[in-house]
Structure 1
Amino acid sequence: MSFQAYLDTIEDKTGKTPRELIAEADARGFGPATKAGDILTWLKDDYDLGRGHGMAMVHVIKNGPKIDAKFVGTDGVHRDESDALWLDGKATKPSV
């Protein structure tokens, strides 16, 4: 599953776009210095997200929407089309 596919599934599971979850995390005081475990606990308790999906959100909360270029355009199952993740929801995602 690509990184973007994880974020799209998180939207399906929570009913919130990744950007909305980032704003909620910010309102809770979560940011780059927050321990992953604290974010994972919040996502599990409030949204029943498992560790894999939770870690995708940890990445964007702590590091923003960029991913390593080594995952872009590869043939593996984790490949993404771009190094920039779309955070504003599946319905508004531009076609690649």
Structure 2
Amino acid sequence: MSFQAYIDNIKAKTGKSPSDFKKMAENKAFLIDGKLNPKIKATEITDWLKDEFELGHGHAMAIYATFKGKAE
């Protein structure tokens, strides 16, 4: 599955875009000024995405990749 397919599936399932997830992550202090908080481990973020949005591991990692600036 391509990265864009992951993003499209996430949006279809949750109604949220990567930008929406970034805003929520900033509210939780996972991101500070658009950058990953160095005190937060990737697992904390992916666990939040899995628990709150019922995303699978690959989909949670795709959102995490957008937080790292890997893709939009």
Give TM-score, length-normalised by structure 1: 0.63
Q: What does the per-residue CA deviation read over 1:48-86, in whole Å, with 9 as the maximum and x for residues that have no partner?
A: 00100000011111x12x44xxxxxxxxxxxxxxxxx3x
TM-score of the superposed pair, with normalisation by structure 2:
0.81
Larger radius of gyration: 1
- Which structure has more helix as a fraction of its residues? 2
Q: Deviation at 1:11?
A: 0.6
Q: Which runs of 5+ in 2 are unaligned?
A: none
Percent of aligned positions that are identical: 45
Compare the two structures and name the one with the higher strand fraction: 2
Higher RCO (CA 8 Å, separation ≥ 6 residues): 1
Q: Does 1:53 align with 2:59?
A: yes
RMSD in angstroms over aligned alpha carbons? 1.3
